[in-house]
């Protein structure tokens, strides 16, 4: 089984150790800000709905608006920003993120808030893509997986610290304060990037036409498909965790935050582990994480009626899923050819498609009368499908190598 190199060659010499740590910390803080504002909307839906005079289901569309912004913004910003110096692009993306969060906080109507959430999603994928490229360029070749994982760790920590804190603040002070706090985090990130991240040039040879060739890159498309399908299982389970815990597991509502916290802790553990495994082998890690993900989904199905016994399985769901996310990012960076910026950014567009796909399929089986355990079986099936796409990718790679 063959695969492309783990990452593209570094574009700058590795930074000194102290500089490197502060630089990755600055980039990771941006991930923390993004993760907090992305998921805090879910925890404040009743407050937001009351604040702009809409129903809770209508407020749920604000989550979809953000996800749509990610899917649209990732390719558009990557294509037009590929030539720009990467540190300057990161600062600009964080500044835009701050502005759109302020707009969300000031929105006086549902329409304005919907547009603001869409706009806020635009920088998401491009930021993570460019930040991953910059982090990899600073690290020694054997540590690039850990560097990218360091950036992604901010997103994971946000689910354990940032989202609960912003949710509590929004409940106590008002939902607008949550968006204002994430705007402040984005501005702090921009200052730290200027202070600690070294100047990394863009690709002076990049053109819109060259970047668009990414969409004709078979390996890149298969990697995106593997992410959109294989990662969907996590969202099939996560989207319905509350009724699974209470109605199937027989636990009180107060147990739900414990299970959501287990998701966040699993993300941190998985992201840390992903960097180490990536330094071993990106492609093999993708295969094994897909296999383990499918098995853990079956474990979730089996343990759901047994209350607290489900908790370790939920931890494993996101731990393994986070390993998949980081290594998909590295795989895309490896196979994107000249379209490095677009390839790195599209990972998060793919994952937001996975979000929509998993939640939709999980809802279908529940609506069909199969109960709240059924999404775990959907997740297992999606994991198998993701593995199949990866083997397809390996077969195409072997064929192309033989022809060459």
Cα distance between residue 377 and residue 361, in whole Å: 11
Give yes or no for residue 356 having a pLDDT over 80: no
**Confidence class for position 3, pLDDT limits 50, 70, 90:** very low
What pLDDT, in 10s, does the model give residues 54-106? 876 677 778 878 888 988 888 888 888 878 888 999 999 999 999 999 999 99
Q: How far apart are CA 52 and CA 165, in angstroms?
A: 22
176 within a domain of the structure (yes/no)? yes
pLDDT tens digits, residue range 29-60?
Answer: 999 999 898 878 877 777 888 888 887 667 77
pTM of the model: 0.75
Asked whether residue 8 is assigned to any structural domain, the reply reads no
Please tell me the distance from the alpha carbon of residue 240 to that of residue 372, in angstroms, as a whole number: 7
Could you tell me if 130 and 86 are in contact, meaning their C-beta atoms sit under 8 angstroms apart? Answer: yes
DSSP 55: -
Q: Is residue 5 part of a domain?
A: no
The answer to whether residue 6 is domain-embedded is: no
**Residue 315 domain-assigned?**
yes
| Structural domain range at position 135 | 17-403
- 125 occurs within a structural domain: yes
Indicate the number of domains in the chain. Answer: 1
> At residue 204, does pLDDT exceed 90?
no
Q: Is residue 169 a contact partner of residue 153, using CB atoms and an 8 Å limit?
A: no
Task: Name which residue leads in pLDDT, 400 or 245.
Answer: 245
Confidence at residue 205, expressed as pLDDT on a 0 to 100 scale: 65
Domain membership of residue 195 (yes or no) is yes
CATH classification of the domain holding 124? 1.20.1250.20
Domain assignment of residue 128, yes or no: yes
């Amino acid at each position: 089984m063959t695969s492309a190199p783990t990452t593209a060659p570094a574009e700058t010499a590795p930074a000194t150790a102290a500089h490197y740590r502060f630089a990755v910390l600055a980039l990771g803080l941006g991930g923390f800000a993004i993760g907090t504002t992305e998921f805090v909307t879910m925890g404040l839906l009743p407050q937001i709905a009351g604040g702009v005079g809409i129903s809770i289901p209508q407020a749920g569309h604000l989550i979809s608006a953000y996800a749509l912004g990610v899917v649209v913004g990732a390719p558009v910003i990557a294509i037009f920003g590929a030539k720009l110096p990467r540190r300057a692009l990161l600062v600009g993306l964080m500044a835009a993120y701050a502005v759109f969060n302020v707009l969300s906080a000031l929105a006086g109507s549902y329409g304005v808030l919907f547009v603001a959430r869409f706009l806020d999603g635009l920088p998401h994928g491009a930021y993570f893509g460019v930040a991953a490229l910059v982090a990899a360029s600073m690290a020694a070749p054997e540590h690039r997986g850990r560097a990218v994982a360091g950036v992604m760790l901010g997103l994971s920590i946000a689910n354990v610290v940032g989202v609960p804190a912003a949710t509590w603040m929004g409940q106590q002070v008002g939902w607008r304060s949550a968006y204002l706090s994430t705007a402040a985090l984005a501005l702090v990130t921009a200052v730290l990037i200027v202070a600690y991240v070294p100047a990394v040039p863009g690709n002076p040879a990049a053109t819109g036409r060259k970047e668009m060739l990414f969409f004709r890159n078979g390996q890149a498309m298969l990697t995106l498909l593997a992410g959109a399908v294989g990662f969907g299982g996590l969202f099939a389970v996560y989207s319905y965790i509350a009724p699974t815990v209470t109605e199937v597991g027989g636990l009180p509502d107060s147990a739900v935050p414990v299970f959501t916290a287990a998701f966040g802790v699993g993300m941190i553990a998985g992201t840390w582990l992903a960097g180490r495994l990536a330094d071993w082998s990106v492609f093999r890690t993708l295969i094994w994480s897909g296999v383990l993900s499918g098995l853990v989904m079956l474990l979730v199905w089996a343990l759901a009626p047994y209350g607290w016994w489900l908790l370790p399985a939920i931890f494993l769901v996101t731990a393994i899923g986070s390993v998949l996310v980081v290594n998909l990012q590295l795989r895309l960076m490896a196979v994107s050819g000249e379209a490095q910026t677009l390839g790195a950014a599209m990972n998060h567009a793919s994952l937001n498609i996975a979000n929509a796909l998993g939640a939709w399929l999980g809802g279908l089986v529940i609506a069909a009368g199969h109960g709240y355990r059924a999404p775990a079986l959907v997740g297992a099936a999606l994991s198998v499908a993701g593995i199949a796409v990866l083997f397809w990718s390996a077969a195409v790679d072997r064929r192309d190598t033989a022809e060459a």
